[in-house]
Amino acid sequence: MTRLRRSGRGLLRSLAALIQMLLPVLLLGTFVTYLLGVLSGLSPAHLQLGESATPAAVARLEHEWGLDRPFLVQYLAWLRGLGGGELGLSWYNGRRVAGLLASRAVISLSVAGLALVIGVGLGSVLGTVAALRQTSWIDRAITAFTTFISVMPSFVVGIALVAIFAVGLGLLPSAGYLPLEDGVWPWLSHLLLPALALSCDTVADLARQLRVGLVGVLGENHVTGARLRGLGEVRIFLVHVLPNALGPALTVLGMKLPHLLGGAVVTEAVFGLPGYGRFANESALRGDVPAVQGVLVVSVVLVVVFNLLVNVLLARLVPAARRGGSP
Amino acid sequence: MLLRRLWRLRSARLALGLLTVVAALALFGPLLEPQSPLAGSSAVLAHPSAAHLLGTDYIGRDVLSRLLAGSPVSVLGAVMVALIALVVGTIPGILSVYLGPAFEWITLRVVDTLIALPFLLFAVSMTALIGNGITEALVTVGILVAPQYYRVARAAALSVVRSEYVEAATIAGASVGWIIRKHFSAKVIPPVAVALASTMGNGLVVVASLTFLGIGVRPPEPTWGGLLASDLDYLAYQPYAPLFPTALILATVWAFNLLADALRDVTGQSGRVLVERGAERRPDQAAAPPGPRTAPAAAPGGIGTAAPDAVLTVDALRIANRATGEELVEGVTFSLRRGQVLGILGESGSGKTLTCKAILGILPPGFQVSGGGIALGGRDIAGFTRADWSAARGVRVAAVFQDPGSYLNPSQRVGRQVEEIFRLKKHLRRREARARVLALFEALHLRDPERVFEQYPHELSGGMLQRVLIASAIALDPAVLIADEATTALDVTVQAEILDLLLDLRDRMGLALVLVSHDLAVVAQLCEEVLVMRSGQVVERGPVSEILRRPRHEYTRLLVADHHRYGLERPARDASAPRSEGIEHVS
Amino acid sequence: MAASLATLAAFAVLLAPSLGCKGRASARGADPAAASPRVLKWATDFPPNWDPVVQGSGGGFRVLALAYASLTEIDEQGNARPGLARSWDYNSSGDEVTFHLRPGLQFSDGTPVNAEAVKLYLERAKTQANSALDGDLTSIASVHTAGDLDVVLELTQVDYQIPLLLGQRVAQIPSPRAARDPKALNAFPVGAGPFTVVELVPESHVFLKKNPAYWNAANVFIDEVKVYAGVDPATVVSSIQTGVYDFAALPASQVKAAEKAGLDIVAHPGFNAANLAINIHKKPFDDPAVLLAVRHAINRQEIADKVTLGYGSATNQPFPRGYIAYDEQSENLWPYDPAKARRILGDAGYTPGQIVVDFVLSAASPAAEVIQAQLAAIGITARISVAPNWARPFFAKELALSIYGTTGRESPVQTLTAHFGPKGPLNLSSPFVSPEFEAAIRRARETPLDAPDYAQNLKLATRAALATSPTIFTYSQPTLFVKSARVSKIPAIPGQVHWTGVRVGSP
């Protein structure tokens, strides 16, 4: 009973500390994003007026959009909107950016989520096997493999996957997206190849970090201690080795989400996914500033939330880290 | 210095070689082009031929020339990213240590923000906001990658500031410049160098990705990423085409990463890692060991007739290094009955610990039993499978070692770890197991067992930890307990307590003890019989009183004499012996 | 333990509906009489605007044509055919035309398709601030209704092109009630077309279902259309092959891949042509010598070969050879002669490399690279840059050099005025126009479509235009589409994608 209460309090404390750290990040991130948008000097005129862009018309349009107000006024208004979940209106088609992003975010997050699952799953397996078969040929093969895929740009992997699995073997579709309502397998089959392409970096890093962590822990005395107490190898691995070895892997994982979100920009271009990476790309090409700002803010929020979760997880699994021990 | 050490690694040589080639391409590539990379021809999308070694592209331009012409942009772009990140990151990183908490807090928050931004996304967005040039995109990426350098530089600077060398040097009056040159560079440059190498690799991939998306591409100037993009459009005509830019990109990035790894190896754990690795590799590389150099008296795996009531029998045990065949334990024999206390006396390197490890089945990977045999409770351990060991450990034989805390999982409470034994091996429910653990703690004189149960290893003293460990060792009522230097790191009073405890256990449970120590006092206090080991051999054995009063072997005599010389008590039974005897022996 | 079971249970509950959905679908499939919907999946460029007045004649009109019906249609020869209007007549002097609408039609929001709706539309197209069509409707002075189904157009001049003009690109008629809020209409179409919109996510997809009230619904054999925002050229073929889409535009570079994959390639006719747009009001083209040199520097055949990979042909006119307005006499106006080009520049006092011009594009283009090389060969450095907001400066006539391509127009006169007229949106050098052209085009406009000299008058107008227009036309290529075998033949109506008569097989 007391244990639960104690751990609950500890959790709240760490959460509070993390929020205190991450809130400035959020503010700074949104500020910089908005500032850059304003500094860019772009305006909706070029997107909306086209042929009839006389200076008077441009001025009128900018006034309509509130772009002639002082910077801080604009920023605060935008921030207030952010609080209510509003990301402004797109200059390209006047729609709510939040709405445009919502459906696309689902797609991108599905791919990123699946990539994370594959990355963690495959990476853990590879890292574990490599650590358990340290210095054997399996270990070296796995290391070579992970080095190779960590170096491959995701779009190259993507094209290769399409060539082999979609066009060559015809097992999976090469492009497009089907929503979950159309069935689990159709939905999954469209996400598998892009997720695989996107996951390469995560697989490699996780395998490497887990191997390092495991090798470190496996050599420690407390593993011998557990063995001496007569515990089975599987139990020792799962309960005593793995949790202590996860530190470096979890830290690396925290940095993966930004990478996955960024990588979406290219993978979505290759696989024709209407996700928000492609949206960002197209909006950027069009100079649709509110849309670009919206995308950036959403990514910052996503990354911050994800880091929060990872840190909490880290604290739960590795009490030493929680107490400020060495990471 | 660094470079010399680096050069010794084969991987580093390979990496540097590759990078030299790439650098040459970047600098002189345009001069090597067989044709102008801009000149089209009517042979559009032609396959490789004598005239065009890698074929032509969609306008008839020579692909090889375009690849070469694209090298400077791609490679220098990557270098630019790395250098920008280096400058933007390292300087604030170092300054954050010196300029006070406000600066530190601000820079840390900025760094956290930058890390939160997915950089491809940000770079693409930047092109909308500040222009579609490759320079702008690269500067953006450089800034976003800077946090890595910030952290590395800051960590290094922190370690320098707090190091004793610098304090000492400052006290000694060394100039700031000298300190910087000598210590600072030594601590800061290596990790930054590692970061630089890996960032350049990443930078190249980023440049390729950006140019693939069309950012910063100024037709008709070729870039590796841009070439890839157009290769994909015309894949049906030239399915092999993406291979060329991909190979170049991969080779370059791989070289950078190889270099980074080599630098890490050389600077991280220094030579130690390399030596160990070499030692570990040799067992693998050697074929099945031809057998120990010194012929064994008995074939390995055989144990002679074990005494019927012996809980542990060791018969002519020999342990050898797997690869070299060198024998480190040459023929140890003893037998242990219930309640018997055996001592093994010897310095480090005598083979006593290896012997114990062999009995427990935890010999390090490089060693194996090369002769003789071991029997636990009558069963020969030679053919033990993992399941057999699992069943035997804790039940037939248990052990406690020096540094007890390290044998416990640092992230779990100690009570839970002992409880685990009861739950898994005796299948008790949690409540029952907990009660058993508390009883054990009580029996081992741990004050406030409930409190101890909830504590983590790092919260307990050495003495308490050793008790906890003993508790875990005897939980399942083993026949034999091996205590290898169990009291060595403890206070003298605590030492005495623990030893008393062990004797108590022997009296109450009939536990057979093997006490391994270099300390004569420990052995003398508890043991009935003693084995003296030196350089892998048993030089003397017999009852304790005999050994101490009338040591036969020279080595034993030395040990006993040393013991007396430092003013330690002779064993009580020996109080009548004249003192001069010991002193004579010393000379 | 309990927690993990609970999670598993939750998962199962969440997944069950989707699995169930799949089950239902297959149950449906087992019973064909229960009509599994015939669905067409089309991947194409997504129109940013759904109000025809704002969208204008740009390529997006094809997608709008799913939701809207136009006043007239054209047939495979390019002649005007009834659409919403079942017939029309001109007055004797040719400056007034009356369209007679079909009775009993409705928009998808229930408002009737009547003369008032058409009148309101045309007026809005002429007057709305962001209208992309006002330049095309200069011939129309005013519109009034004569009864519920008759629309009378009073023209500013004799103009027999009107029935051709008021086709899919210019006269897709939306509901007048919806048009009261043009912004909303621009976000969601309300028309009387073959399909009605069920779901629309901008830049992502739009799903439509068959509209039984469409005037030609009897010939529509598709139940659902799913339009997806464009797909990467490198993956078009694999998308069709793996059934993600059924129909998409095919870049010339992917034809070989499509052939290898055994897909149907449709070379759809169209009166389109690509051009190199030159602005003679900007340096360096304000010097006639430079313009002349550039005319001789362009090797159309090379561009056609390298860009269309054999599927297109060179042309120096805004349409391909064989088009009614194509003037054979003007074929070799300025033949390819780089040596002559270099001489002209040299005589005018330019050194090679001295002339530098910004070549602004909307997207990366092999054609532009070929042209860049051809200009470099005569000593002109063209700096290519891809501009995110290319459209604004292009239509505002701010660029000096660019490239453009049209998908043609139903009315040849509209094509000619768009490219060569003083207010032509595709005339980068506007308001430049030659008086000879103005006279010739008026003559063509005043020629009834069935008159014997109609074709000749068109050619004369083309001839007059080409003699002075700085726009250099380069090549023409039929629009290439790729489709899966499920989709039957598409009617070969030039420049348009019609779905009437098209059948879609089961997946």
Which chains does C contact via 3+ CB–CB distances below 8 A?
A, B
Q: Answer whether B468's CB lies under 8 Å from B460's CB.
A: yes
Is A50 within a domain?
Answer: no
Task: Read off the pLDDT band of C145 (50, 70, 90).
Answer: very high
- Residue C163 C-beta-side C-alpha neighbours within 13 Å: 26
**pLDDT value for C315:** 92
- Residue-range domain boundaries for chain B: 2-28+62-276, 310-403+480-571
Half-sphere exposure of B180 (CA within 13 A, CB side): 4
Domain that holds residue A190: 2-41+87-323
C-beta atoms of C366 and B39 within 8 A: no
- Using alpha carbons only, how large is chain A's radius of gyration in Å? 24
Contact B21, B13 (CB under 8 A): no
pLDDT at C482: 93
A52 interface with C at CB cutoff 8 Å: yes
CATH of B310-403+480-571, one of 3.30.70.20, 3.40.50.800, 3.40.50.300, 3.40.50.720: 3.40.50.300
- Establish if A239 belongs to a structural domain: yes
**8 Å CB contact of C368 and B132:** no
pTM above 0.90, yes or no: no
Which among A27-31, B40-44, B374-378, C344-348 has the top mean pLDDT? C344-348
Q: Give the number of beta-carbon pairs within 8 Å between A and B.
A: 203
Give the span between the Cα atoms of C461 and C433, in whole angstroms: 12
Mean pLDDT of chain A: 78
Q: Is residue A27 situated within a structural domain?
A: yes
B59 vs C233, C370, C383: nearest CB: C370
Q: How far, in Å, CA of B53 to CA of B62, rounded?
A: 8
Let me know if A88 is exposed, middle or buried by CB neighbors in 10 A (0-12, 13-18, 19+).
Answer: buried
pLDDT band at A255; cut points 50, 70, 90: confident
Q: Does A183 touch chain C (CB under 8 A)?
A: yes
d(CA B279, CA B287): 15
| Cα–Cα distance, C176 to C121 (Å, whole number) | 7
How far apart (Å, rounded) are the C-alpha atoms in residues B332 and B351? 10
ipTM score assigned to the predicted complex:
0.76
- Is B18 touching A (CB cutoff 8 A)? no
Q: Is C106 on the interface with B (CB under 8 A)?
A: no
pLDDT for residue A129: 92
Q: Which residues are paired to A96 by β-bridges? A: A89
Q: Which residues pair with B313 in a beta bridge?
A: B335, B375
Please tell me if residue C372 touches chain B, with a CB cutoff of 8 Å.
yes
The pLDDT of residue B62 is: 86
Look at C228 and A173 and tell me if their CB atoms are within 8 Å.
no
Q: For residue range C223-232, what is the model confidence (pLDDT) as tens digits?
A: 999 998 867 7
Give residue C11's pLDDT band: very low, low, confident or very high (50, 70, 90).
very low
Convert the pLDDT of each residue in B388-431 to its tens digit: 888 889 888 999 998 888 899 888 899 999 999 999 888 989 99
- Report the side by side order of strands in the sheet with C355-361: C313-314, C472-476, C274-278, C401-405, C355-361, C380-386
The confidence score (pLDDT) of residue C179 equals: 92
Q: Do B40 and C233 touch (CB under 8 A)?
A: no
Residues in chain A within 8 Å Cβ distance of B476:
230
Residues 6+ apart with CB under 8 A from C11: none
Query: Could you tell me which residues come within 8 angstroms of residue C88 by beta carbon, excluding any fewer than 6 positions away?
Result: C72, C97, C98, C99, C100, C162, C163
A53 within some domain: no
C-alpha B579/C-alpha B564 separation (Å) is 9
Nearest C-alpha in A relative to C394: A51
Q: Are C51 and C186 in contact (CB under 8 A)?
A: yes
Q: Residue B435: CB partners within 8 Å, gap ≥ 6?
A: none
Which helix (H) or strand (E) segment holds residue B376: the answer is strand B367-376
Domains B2-28+62-276 and B310-403+480-571 share a fold: no
Among the CATH numbers 1.10.3720.10, 3.20.20.70, 1.25.40.10, 3.40.190.10, which is that of B2-28+62-276? 1.10.3720.10
Q: What is the pLDDT of residue C42?
A: 93
Angle at which helices A97-132 and A137-151 cross, to 10°: 160
Average pLDDT, chain B: 78
Lowest mean pLDDT of A282-286, B306-310, C239-243, name the range: B306-310
Question: How far does B226 lie from chain A, in Å, by closest CA?
Answer: 12
Kindly state whether A313 is in contact with chain B, defined as any CB-CB distance less than 8 angstroms: no
User: Chain-wide mean pLDDT for chain C?
Assistant: 85
Distance of alpha carbon B250 from alpha carbon B3, whole angstroms: 24
Interface contacts B/C by beta carbons within 8 Å:
61
Residue B584 pLDDT level (bands cut at 50, 70, 90): very low
**Of B578 and C156, which is predicted with more confidence?**
C156
**B window 380-399, beta carbon within 8 A of A:** 386-387, 389-395, 398-399
Q: Which of residues 228-257 of C touch A (CB under 8 A)?
A: 228-232, 234-235, 237-239, 241-245
Read off φ and ψ for residue B390, nearest 5 degrees. -55, -40
| pLDDT for C459 beyond 90 | yes
The answer, yes or no, to whether residue B269 has pLDDT greater than 50, is: no
C216 part of contact set with chain B, CB < 8 Å: no
Interface of C with A in 154-193 (CB under 8 A): 183, 186-187
What is the tens place of the pLDDT at every residue in C371-414?
999 999 999 999 988 876 677 778 778 889 999 888 788 889 98
Work out how many domains chain A is built from and give that number. 1
A124 within domain boundaries: yes
Buried b / exposed e across C422-444, counting CB within 10 Å, b at 16+? eebbbbbbbebbbeebbebbbbb
What CATH number is attached to the domain comprising A318? 1.10.3720.10
- For residue B238, CA distances in Å to B39, B251, C242, C254, C260 come to 20, 22, 22, 11, 13
**Beta strands at B367-376 and B310-321: parallel, antiparallel or unpaired:** antiparallel
In three-state secondary structure terms, B532 is: strand
Calculate the alpha carbon distances from B403 to B457, B518, C115 in Å.
11, 15, 98
**Alpha carbons B394 and A6: distance in angstroms, whole number:** 33
Nearest to B318 by CA among B289, B349, B343, B297: B297
Q: How many angstroms away from the CA of A183 is the closest CA of chain C? A: 5
Query: Considering CB atoms only, which of B214, B220, B236 is closest to C372?
Result: B220
> Cβ B59–C364 below 8 Å, yes or no?
no
Look at residue C101 and tell me whether its pLDDT is greater than 90.
yes
In what order do the strands lie in the sheet containing B512-517?
A: B397-401, B480-484, B512-517, B341-345, B529-534, B537-543
The shortest C-alpha distance from A56 to chain B (Å) reads: 24
Contact list, C235 vs chain A (CB under 8 Å): 162, 174-175, 270-272
Q: Chain C contact for B214, CB < 8 A?
A: yes
C18 contacts A94? CB cut-off 8 A: no
Residue B468, pLDDT > 50, answer: yes
Q: Is residue A63 part of a domain?
A: no
Most confident of A66-75, A170-179, B8-17, C136-145: C136-145
Dump the DSSP string for C303-357.
Answer: HHHHHHTTSSEE-SSSS-TTSTT--GGGTTSS---HHHHHHHHHHTTPPTTTEEE
Answer whether residue A65 is part of any domain.
Answer: no
Greater model confidence, A233 or B184: A233
| Residue A317: predicted pLDDT | 64
In chain A, which residue's Cα lies nearest the Cα of B248?
A: A152
Flag if B236 and C309 touch (Cβ within 8 Å): no
B366 at interface of A, judged by CB pairs closer than 8 A: no
Distance between CA B187 and CA B171 in Å, rounded? 20
Sign of torsion, CA A227 A229 A231 A237?
negative
Neighbours of chain B (3+ CB pairs under 8 A): A, C
CB-based contact (8 Å) between C358 and chain B? no
Q: Is B323 on the interface with C (CB under 8 A)?
A: no
Pairing of strands C355-361, B537-543: unpaired
- Residue A80 lies inside a defined structural domain of this protein: no
Task: Please give, rounded to a whole number of angstroms, the shortest distance from the CA of C428 to a CA of chain B.
Answer: 23
